[in-house]
Structure 1
């Protein structure tokens, strides 16, 4: 797929094995930090848990465009994260979105 020049926004819904939750959160934080620091096309990654259900993780992902997302999937830090967390993730659902309005404050 080629770049559209529009931001790509997706939501990831994960269920993490409770026995591995703390280790998963460490690996996720490391992956997010590396992605934001090393990949200019990664505009934002926010990881959240559903209140009262800490193993239900939601990640809001915003990339500059489709090409940036595809580059992220090939990055060494993302591939390391996927490999290290494979046995921790009980389920993963990726939700494609059509952004209506993206706003925020600089910094």
Structure 2
């Protein structure tokens, strides 16, 4: 079953450019190494400074778990952490 993920991210003031650059690197790795990922895209909130969402689509639960465990994701988490300005909220959906 196809799985959709929305991650709501808040970035610390002044760290938006650094976050976007790091996310672009991460997205490149996702696209190159995760064939069961169909979408991995960052969107900037128009109303809330430092607010972003990441939209993701995976073929199935195994693909989502592979994403979470991927070496490139594990390597990027500590690089992203200092840029965060709040808790990330992750919503997971099943395709209808």
TM-score by length of 2: 0.90
What residue ranges of structure 2 are gaps of 5+ in the alignment? none
How does 1:77-88 map onto structure 2 within 5 Å?
77-88=72-83
Match of 2:95 among 79, 99, 103: 99
Report which of the two structures shows the higher radius of gyration computed on alpha carbons. Answer: 1
Pairing 1:38–2:38 present: no
Q: Indicate conservation of the 8 Å contact 2:2/2:94, yes or no.
A: no
Larger proportion of helix:
2
Deviant stretches of 4+, over 3 Å: none
What is the distance in 1 between the residues matched to 2:49 and 2:75?
A: 23
TM-score by length of 1: 0.82
CA RMSD of aligned residues (A): 1.2
What does the per-residue CA deviation read over 1:24-65, in whole Å, with 9 as the maximum and x for residues that have no partner? 111111101110111111111111011143410101110111
How many residues align structurally? Answer: 95
- 1:82 deviation in Å? 1.0
Q: Indicate conservation of the 8 Å contact 1:16/1:91, yes or no.
A: no
How does 1:1-107 map onto structure 2 within 5 Å?
6-89=1-84, 90-100=86-96
